[in-house]
Amino acid sequence: MVLDPAPPNPLQLGMRVHHKSSLRPARVVLLLQDLQVGGTQRQALELAARLDRARYAPELWTMMAGQAMLARSGVPGLPGLQHLADVPVRQLSPLPFVGPDAVLRLGLELARRQVDVLLCLTAVPNIWGRVWGQMCRRLGRRPVILGTCRGGGAPVRQHERRLWAWADHHLSNTHAMARVLTRDYGVPAAHISVIHNGVDTQRFRMADGPDADANADAGRGPVFVHLARLVEDKDHATSLRAFASLLQMVPQAELRLVGDGPRRAELETLAACLFPGQLRSRVHFAGERLDVDTVLRQADALVLSSIREAMPNVILEAMATGLPVIATDVGGVAEMVVQGETGWLTPAEDAPAMAQAMLRLAREPALRKRMGRAGRARVEAHFSFEAMARGHEAVFARLLAQRHGRAG
């Protein structure tokens, strides 16, 4: 790299000093369990695509098979392949689960490669990334180890009570999770930085022209969409029971459950009990959909009845699309949804409260539009992928500078 006569401080640029006369971008490894479809995987791809290449050289490492998210990165709304073409992807194991081979390969790769920043994403990488990162320091490797906590159950799954000190710093996507780490797990507040998720405001936009008010034009009732994997944490049962109450007062309403997962059969059985006969036609299990932007533009409101969350991307996507949000007040949801302004927050597992919020939106189209516009404005002002990437870069640069200071 050719240097200017008076180059800027490389530590401020997030670069690592190789020699007094040469610089290289800091190698940043984003370590994930897999690259299957998921919120953390999406944020990781967006981060890798947007990191400043003059300062950082990102790589994606996964500990098991599964790269559906990467395979789909060329479709509209996901980072284009041209933005990820220079990002190496290392699959540490071909197995469909994290086995001993992946754990050992991770240690070998960290030992033989000069990794400057190791960003541990998802549960298993947050354990083994820290373990091997610390062991590699004995071999002269000195990666900055960044732990992350992005989900309601993450501190338990990642054994934060024992392992928090094995990371140089923690990243959380919500202030709520940061408070939990400090209060319940003893992580010092100074050891945590909060960087909110971002959302693609170009892909997720308010419907206009012929798409606007499509449901009203077609003479249909309000459409509520619950977009989430069919897993225990999302508690679809509560939204189904709430919708059953709503149908007694607004029989034209419709609920679409978009997503798939291990609880699908159980939830379909519950729906058959709650919605006998023709009522069953008001509830649709749509399965996994890649065109989330289209799904949201065809709905009137988002419903999310999770019992555990951090910062669900779908809420930001719905707000960017101009939908009001009805969600349970868990994790960092209240950092996105402003009560009575962009939607309604209800207690977890409280179907009657959720039904009341759904009823109000079902009966007041003007309120839906007003809340939708407010949600869009809030996303544009506070949540973007660029802000997310710049936030990570600032943390990387600060920690690299501290590491260099300790070495000096």
CATH number of the domain residue 299 falls in? 3.40.50.2000
Looking at the domain assignment, is residue 224 inside a domain?
yes
Give the helix/strand (H/E) hosting 57: strand 56-62
C-alpha–C-alpha distance, residues 345 and 324, integer Å: 11
Q: Please indicate, yes or no, if residue 272 is contained in any of the structural domains.
A: yes
Instruction: Report which DSSP code applies to 189.
Output: G
Residues 341, 402 within the same domain:
no
Token pair, residue 371, equals 């809340």
Q: Does residue 337 lie in a domain region?
A: yes
Q: Is residue 53 domain-shared with residue 189, that is, in the same domain? A: yes
Q: Say if 9 falls within a structural domain.
A: no
94-98, 238-242, 260-264, 286-290, range with the lowest pLDDT:
286-290
pLDDT band at residue 22, thresholds of 50, 70 and 90?
very low
Same-domain check for residues 152 and 286: no
Q: What is the number of domains present in the chain? A: 2
> Which range of residues forms the domain containing residue 321?
209-379
Q: What is the Cα gyration radius of the chain?
A: 23
* Pair (274, 129) in one structural domain: no
Q: Does 362 lie in the same domain as 297?
A: yes
Among residues 43, 33, 99, 100, which one has the least CA distance to residue 67? 33
In this predicted structure, what is the pLDDT of residue 150? 87
pLDDT per residue as tens digits for the range 369-393: 999 999 999 999 999 899 899 999 9
Give which of 173, 303, 312, 153 is closest to 232, Cα–Cα.
153
Calpha distance 408→390 (Å, rounded): 27
* 308, 192: one domain: no
197 pLDDT more than 80: yes
Give the rounded percent of residues in the chain with a pLDDT score beyond 70. 88
* Pair 277, 302 in one domain: yes
Q: Compute how many other C-beta atoms are within 10 angstroms of the C-beta atom of residue 177.
A: 27
- Pair 29, 155 in one domain: yes
User: What burial letters (b/e) apply to 203-242, b meaning 16+ CB within 10 Å?
Assistant: ebebbeeeeeeebeeeeebbbbbbbbbbebebbbbbbbbb
Residue 204 lies in a domain: no
Alpha carbons 407 and 367: distance in angstroms, whole number = 58
Has residue 1 been placed in a domain?
Answer: no
Q: Which residue has the tokens 């009732």?
A: 221
Residue 122 and residue 23 share a domain: yes
Domain membership flag for residue 183: yes
Q: Examine the domain organization and report whether 312 and 399 are in the same domain.
A: no
Q: pLDDT tens, 44-75?
A: 999 999 999 999 999 999 999 998 887 766 55
- Provide the b/e sequence for 319-332 (b: ≥16 CB within 10 Å): bbbbbbbbbbbbbb
Whether 23 and 162 share a structural domain: yes
User: What is the reported pTM?
Assistant: 0.80
Per-residue pLDDT reduced to its tens digit, 293-336 = 999 999 999 999 999 888 999 999 999 999 999 999 998 999 99
Task: With respect to residue 390, please indicate whether it lies within any of the assigned structural domains.
Answer: yes
Question: What amino acid occupies position 174?
Answer: T
CA-CA distance, 382 to 397, in Å (whole number)? 23
**CA–CA gap between residue 343 and residue 78 (Å, rounded):** 27
Distance of CA 126 to the CA centre of its chain: 16
265/245 same-domain check:
yes
Predicted confidence band of residue 2 (pLDDT cuts 50, 70, 90): very low
Between CA 229 and CA 38 the distance in angstroms is: 9
- Please count the other Cβ atoms lying within 10 Å of the Cβ belonging to residue 386: 10
Going from the C-alpha of 341 to that of each of 60, 345, 368, 380, the distances in angstroms are: 39, 11, 10, 15
